[in-house]
Amino acid sequence: MGKFYVTTPIYYVNDAPHIGHAYTTILADVLSRYHRAAGDEVFFLTGLDEHGQKVKQAAEKRGLSPQAHADDLAPRFLDLWKKLDIRYDDFIRTTEGRHKKAVQAVLQKVYEAGDIYAGEYGGWYSVAEERFITDAEYESGQFRDVKKLKEKNYFFKMSKYHGRLVEYIKANPALIQPESRRNEIMGFLNQPLGDLCISRPKSRMDWGIEIPFDKDYVTYVWFDALINYISVPGYASDDTKFKKWWPADVHLIGKDILTTHCVYWTTMLFSLGLSFPKTIFAHGWWLMGETKMSKSLGNVVNPLDLIKTHGIDAVRYYLMREMVLGQDANFTPESFIKRFNSDLANDFGNLLNRVSGLIARDHGGKVPGPGPLTPAEEELKRCAQALNSTVISLVGRMKVHEAIEAVIELVRQVNKYLEAQAPWKLAKTDMPAANRVLYTAGECLRIASIMLEPVMPHKAKMVLDILGAVNTEPVWGQLKPGTTLKSHPPLFPRIEVE
Ligand code: MSP
């Protein structure tokens, strides 16, 4: 038992939330729930990135002030998190006073340490990415909305920490995951590392946190946003809280914001003398066909539409099971239906139907007593007992899709066992055997449901309620013989396609 501090990126309020935002937030929620269930004390932080040029531009387009624009969009994120049953512990908006204070404290400290200097800077700036890009990056043609800028600005001495960062990453392979992303960063760090421009003159861009030592400047949005990971747990405001939670256990990010987290953020932490997060984990993208889902491409799936038609739990399940953590995944309506019908309707839903249907018909609606087990049941018991530690270990290694698969694999095994044992026949010829089989199937279903609860909180709870087993533990034997099962509609009715 320990503590688990997990973060999501804070999302730009330039548009309504989409599946990319929903995915990372659900992932953080699922990890949090598994850790809580395992007895860890959890701090799950998410929020909104409200400063910078992108947000300012989005506000201008709507004829609103940036703050009014952010105030209008924030509830859309909060509403979606509520609908998706996201249990975050804190939600930060970077325009809040508590965050601004911490950013200014960081700037002052880094400045006094001699790691910030004023300089003249000219170069290519990508408005879409909100950062200066190198000539090589410019020439790659991969950056949108690029312009040439030259101005006085403040710089963070990122280059000073180049060597230390490389050494740290080499010595701590768990820091950047998966391995392919660590290699990507090591490749990036093979090149000379420049300093980071961390200010914007108000005359050009005033939507940001004022630099404490020069009121003509605001803070560069990334230098502001990254600090949320320490401002919320109490940096420069609540030492006890900060000591308790920092360093974070996992920063969850998408692969497109790898450099900002693995290079900018880490060097900022060096300068502040703070320890590093244990892991920065970059997941892949949800693609539509071969292309990334993105607002500018107009191919974004709205998570709310999916929830309306298929329910929260099915959407959470699909997103968590379908994406191999770290790789890209294809979102298609076909794959959604396939996954739904096979895992949820055929395997999980069907097991419940069989158990509750047969117990109602042949056993007076009450959970039968198991009696002595035979090797077939002992084998299932062994698998069900092992499930909890298997799942905890897989989740700890960020293999959420494999953890889910391990649970569904047990469910499939139990369905096969039922077919082989045919308790509907045994009920006519050998009642003690029928009792034993249905108890075993019901007990496995109970344990599987507990193990799926972090992913599908509602449906899993529903099954446990039907079994009279809410708040039980994933250890063998807690399904109580004699319990009257509740009647229920099908858990996941098959999606029929013409
Ligand atoms: N505001 C910054 C993060 C600052 S964190 C200190 C930002 N915001 S964002 O709203 O543009 O993106 C947030 C996250 O959404 C990124 O991790 C990005 O990878 C993720 N996604 C955006 N589109 C996505 C998909 N199509 N699929 C999966 N995730 C993607 O960047």
- The SS3 of residue 81 is helix
Q: How far is CA 201 from CA 14, 57, 100, 407, in A?
A: 21, 16, 18, 55
Cα separation, 363 vs 450, in Å, equals: 24
Cα separation, 128 vs 145, in Å, equals: 6
Name residues whose C-beta falls within 8 Å of residue 352's C-beta, 6 or more positions apart in sequence.
445, 463, 466, 488, 491
Of 49, 130, 280, the residue with max ligand 1 atoms within 8 A of its CB, to mutate for a pocket test, comes to 49
Q: Please count the other Cβ atoms lying within 10 Å of the Cβ belonging to residue 439.
A: 24
pTM: 0.94
- Under 8 Å between Cβ of 438 and 485: no
| Apex 49 CA angle, 29 and 206, nearest 5 | 175
- Which of ligand 1's atoms lies nearest the C-alpha of 228? 6
CA distance between the termini of the chain: 50
Per-residue model confidence (pLDDT) at position 282: 98
Rounded to the nearest 10 degrees, what angle do helices 431-452 and 375-396 cross at? 0
Per-residue model confidence (pLDDT) at position 387: 98
- Which of ligand 1's atoms lies nearest the C-alpha of 49? 1
- Under 8 Å between Cβ of 451 and 474: yes
Q: How far is CA 466 from CA 58, 141, 367, 492, in A?
A: 49, 57, 11, 15
Per-residue model confidence (pLDDT) at position 296: 64
* Cβ–ligand 1 contact at 338 (below 6 Å): no
Instruction: Give the pLDDT means over successive 10-residue stretches in the chain (498 positions).
Output: 95 89 97 97 98 94 97 96 96 98 98 96 82 86 87 96 98 98 98 95 95 98 98 98 98 97 98 98 87 65 76 96 93 89 98 98 97 98 98 97 98 98 98 98 98 98 98 97 97 88
What's the gap in Å between 285 CA and the centre of ligand 1?
Answer: 9
| Phi-psi category of residue 417: left, alpha or beta, with phi > 0 → left and psi -120 to 50 → alpha | alpha
Cα separation, 392 vs 444, in Å, equals: 17
Cα separation, 15 vs 445, in Å, equals: 42
The first and second tokens of residue 412, run together, are 């499939």
- Under 8 Å between Cβ of 325 and 299: no
* Cβ–ligand 1 contact at 52 (below 6 Å): no
Name residues whose C-beta falls within 8 Å of residue 257's C-beta, 6 or more positions apart in sequence.
9, 282
* Cβ–ligand 1 contact at 125 (below 6 Å): no
Of 6, 8, 12, 255, the residue with max ligand 1 atoms within 8 A of its CB, to mutate for a pocket test, comes to 12
Per-residue model confidence (pLDDT) at position 402: 98
* Cβ–ligand 1 contact at 328 (below 6 Å): no
Per-residue model confidence (pLDDT) at position 36: 97
- Which of ligand 1's atoms lies nearest the C-alpha of 21? 15
**Torsion angle of alpha carbons 58, 209, 12, 124, nearest 10°?**
70
Q: What is the DSSP letter of 134?
A: -
* Cβ–ligand 1 contact at 48 (below 6 Å): no
Q: What is the DSSP letter of 276?
A: P
